Structure 1
Amino acid sequence: MTDLALYIHWPFCVAKCPYCDFNSHVREAVDQDRWRAALLADLAHEAGLTRGRSIGSIFFGGGTPSLMPPATVAALLDAAAGQWAFAPDIEITLEANPSSVEAARFADLAAAGVNRVSLGLQSFDDAALRFLGRAHDAAEGLAALATAQASFARVSFDLIYALPGQTIAAWDAQLAHALAFGTEHLSLYQLTVERGTRFATDATAGRLRLPDADHAADLFELTRARTAAAGLPAYETSNHARPGAESRHNLTYWRYGEYLGVGPGAHGRRGGLATQRRKKPENWLAAVDRNGHGIEAETLLTPHERATEALLMGLRLTEGVDLARIAALAGGVAPVDAAAVARLARLGLVACDDERLRVTGAGALLLDAILPEVVTDETVTA
């Protein structure tokens, strides 16, 4: 049986970024003792349902987990180690913002057991950072990156591109700067407008105009070429790593492994069940106080639903999906439209043999359009 992944959600941020649709909240004060106790209780509930399993990765996401007291991180890791066996090479990641206050905690977070940090730099340009609503400036971000590289065995950082008015030359310079630091992993995201965000309001009002599709495609192709030449090829739509340095935790999602979700709004997949925690922090806390866990819903997935989820996640990966495994999840035949696959293969957008289906580099530009064509709504029969 494969290792589980464990996700722990910390929902609080200093401010809400205008592009962010994650489950993040701003609160004037946080009762740290109560939150630590509640997270430990939610974790213990998941442990009671997965006795005898081992954990291969732990991911502290948010929100801004670097706002967590290191003592809380240590308590959660100690509790997890007491409930599950840890894989010898367990990956323990924490998302961090690059403020000087949070960077000052990096050494203590490393001492608590975190061995990988994902740093939300987002840009090296002060004007871009102001546009993105970030609280740090470029100099502070660079200082935090230096501290992270001195504190953690493994470092990744995020950048956002395809900003309004961003030229090919400007993004090329940002990429060259990013690659010069020698980190093992980069997450490079095109700016998108998500519902419910301030940017969505601005776009509707005509105050925000993103680059057109052709320009965004040029930026995407440049990103792929630059990172590949530097030895960090894309292994997922927006993620690039040296071979062997991929995020093992995120690969569990994309390869449709089992993972446990703890904390407000966290999702999980275990034993064929889709689990979902209550989203609003106060509602989650009340549920933990009442029930000993924050679960809002547990849904038994049908074989078709599981196979479809595995396809939608796995086709984001450069390696693609194992069609025999997808068929096994579906209970017979993979929910793949063979005619659509053949047509897209002739166009060079997907590649398929008897064992694997994958989206090509050219197809990655059109992934959102390809997925609904390839994945059928109902299981097809032979």
Structure 2
Amino acid sequence: MSARGPAAGARAAAAALPSHRPLALYVHWPFCVTKCPYCDFNSHVRVEVDEADWRRALLAELRHEAAATPGHRLASIFFGGGTPSLMAPATVAAVIETAVGLWGADDDLEVSLEANPSSVEQARFAGYRAAGVNRVSLGLQALDDRALRLLGRPHDVAAGLAALDVAQHLFPRVSIDLIHSRPGQTVSAWARELGRALSFGTAHLSAYQLTIEPGTRFATLARAGRLLLPDEEAAARMLEVTDELCAAAGLPAYEISNHAQPGAECRHNLAYWTYADHAGVGPGAHGRRAGLATVRERRPEAWRARVARDGHGMVEARAVPPAEAAREALLMGLRLAEGIEPATFEARTGVALAAVVDPVARERLEALGLVARGERLRATRAGRLVLDRLVVELLSGPA
């Protein structure tokens, strides 16, 4: 099988089609080897998975979504989870080939897959590349064995670096994920760890602040006083250090937690942040496409049963009012370093940006250095650190 994967023929045939509205496709694989104590994602531990049955269900959902989105063309595919690197390469290949056959796609289609760096998953990397995956997001999470044990990760630093080496040899684009503001972590320790990560030479790095999410094991420990995170001042300084070191290494922040060399940004995630159409398949997946908000059944077995019965696992598909779309687009767009372009905002929400943003509040926030002056609505770095409050200040009421 060639490195271009089984979708190459379908993609080449689709290349002659006229330009269509771009669509970002998210595919959720809900299974993990273990449940990390900080994770509130829709992930589940199962001893056995009938992968052939799950593959059939995912393909059925693809056909349903394609029928609901005529005139669209794939811009990206993102396999998320859970742990997508537990999927057999044959399943990944079938999803890519079917999706490209249904929607069509350009030759530069971005196909991302989240992967853990265990030796078992590492062994599948060549198969994913052959299937058509051209971008891997590797969940290193930390470069300290003690921290990895605290985070409940099923790998150590040595395994993580071995997986990174394999990934960098196989995939054209590799991103690494790290978590900062961990219990006991200092600003200087984070700076050293991040500096080491930047030395690996990946063109993309995601650095997430550890937060305590309701319903997680960490939340239980925090309530009992057994888990203490760095204070707000230290956490804010870690964010500043992240921006400074990444920028100095040639990976400026293009979103609150994401840093990339120019041109290496994750196009799939940019679709979310710029409010482009995106479809989601698999348990718990969400979508915003053709003016509808879609939600899939969250529980894996219930989702599979619903797909078998109805041909899809969707439990909600509702029209998104323009005012709601505008607020969502404002919140997402302000995460970006480049901010919100007014014409794109209006085209994708049906609402003029000026109708949503309070001009008096905007002027006040500009004077405070939280919003940049100019045609685009753009939060400064200081503004992005208090984004939720910024959005509340900017909103002028129903559009």
**Alignment TM class, shorter chain as reference:** over 0.9
Name the structure 2 match of 1:366.
Answer: 386
Cα deviation digits, residues 12-41 of structure 1 (max 9, x gap):
000110111111011111111110110110
Cα deviation digits, residues 266-314 of structure 1 (max 9, x gap):
1111111001111000110011011000111001011111111110100
How many positions carry a matched residue from both structures? 378
Aligned pairs for 1:320-359 (under 5 A) are 320-327=339-346, 329-332=349-352, 333-353=354-374, 355-359=375-379
Deviation at 1:84, TM superposition (A): 1.4
Name the structure 2 match of 1:375.
Answer: 395
Q: d(CA) in 2 for partners of 1:235 and 1:331?
A: 25
Q: d(CA) in 1 for partners of 2:341 and 2:373?
A: 10
Deviation at 1:162, TM superposition (A): 0.8
Name the structure 2 match of 1:86.
Answer: 105
Does residue 57 of the first structure (1) align with residue 57 of the second (2)?
no
Does residue 71 of the first structure (1) align with residue 62 of the second (2)?
no
Alignment partner for residue 107 of structure 1, among 120, 126, 141? Answer: 126
Name the structure 1 match of 2:153.
Answer: 134
Aligned pairs for 1:184-333 (under 5 A) are 184-327=203-346, 329-332=349-352, 333=354
Q: d(CA) in 1 for partners of 2:53 and 2:343?
A: 47
Alignment partner for residue 32 of structure 1, among 47, 51, 63? Answer: 51
User: Normalized against structure 2, the TM-score is what?
Assistant: 0.92
Q: d(CA) in 1 for partners of 2:345 and 2:255?
A: 19
Q: d(CA) in 1 for partners of 2:379 and 2:207?
A: 19
Cα deviation digits, residues 118-171 of structure 1 (max 9, x gap):
000000100000110101001010001001111111000100001122112211
Q: d(CA) in 1 for partners of 2:24 and 2:218?
A: 33
Q: Could you tell me whether the CA contact under 8 Å between 1:327 and 1:335 is conserved in 2?
A: no
Q: Could you tell me whether the CA contact under 8 Å between 1:340 and 1:374 is conserved in 2?
A: yes
| AA of the residue aligned to 1:193 | I
| AA of the residue aligned to 2:386 | L
| AA of the residue aligned to 1:372 | V
Name the structure 1 match of 2:13.
Answer: none
Deviation at 1:337, TM superposition (A): 2.1
Q: d(CA) in 2 for partners of 1:207 and 1:148?
A: 37
Alignment partner for residue 4 of structure 1, among 11, 16, 23? Answer: 23
Specify the SS of the correspondent of 2:45.
coil
Q: Could you tell me whether the CA contact under 8 Å between 1:314 and 1:320 is conserved in 2?
A: yes
Deviation at 1:88, TM superposition (A): 2.1
Specify the SS of the correspondent of 1:321.
coil
Q: d(CA) in 2 for partners of 1:96 and 1:83?
A: 26
Name the structure 1 match of 2:5.
Answer: none
In the superposition, relative to structure 1, how do residues 52 and 323 fare at CA in structure 2: closer, same or farther (>3 Å)? closer
In the superposition, relative to structure 1, how do residues 292 and 25 fare at CA in structure 2: closer, same or farther (>3 Å)? same
Q: Could you tell me whether the CA contact under 8 Å between 1:326 and 1:334 is conserved in 2?
A: no
| AA of the residue aligned to 2:392 | P
| AA of the residue aligned to 2:35 | K
Deviation at 1:53, TM superposition (A): 2.1
Name the structure 1 match of 2:199.
Answer: 180
Name the structure 2 match of 1:124.
Answer: 143
Q: Could you tell me whether the CA contact under 8 Å between 1:8 and 1:262 is conserved in 2?
A: yes
Q: d(CA) in 1 for partners of 2:330 and 2:373?
A: 13
Cα deviation digits, residues 180-213 of structure 1 (max 9, x gap):
1110100000101111111111111211111111
Q: Which runs of 5+ in 1 are unaligned?
A: none
| AA of the residue aligned to 2:382 | A
Q: d(CA) in 2 for partners of 1:144 and 1:334?
A: 49
| AA of the residue aligned to 1:356 | R
Q: Could you tell me whether the CA contact under 8 Å between 1:307 and 1:334 is conserved in 2?
A: no
Q: Which runs of 5+ in 2 are unaligned?
A: 1-19
Q: Could you tell me whether the CA contact under 8 Å between 1:19 and 1:132 is conserved in 2?
A: yes
Q: d(CA) in 2 for partners of 1:217 and 1:227?
A: 16
Cα deviation digits, residues 70-103 of structure 1 (max 9, x gap):
0100111111121111122100000000000000
Specify the SS of the correspondent of 2:41.
coil
Q: d(CA) in 2 for partners of 1:101 and 1:178?
A: 23
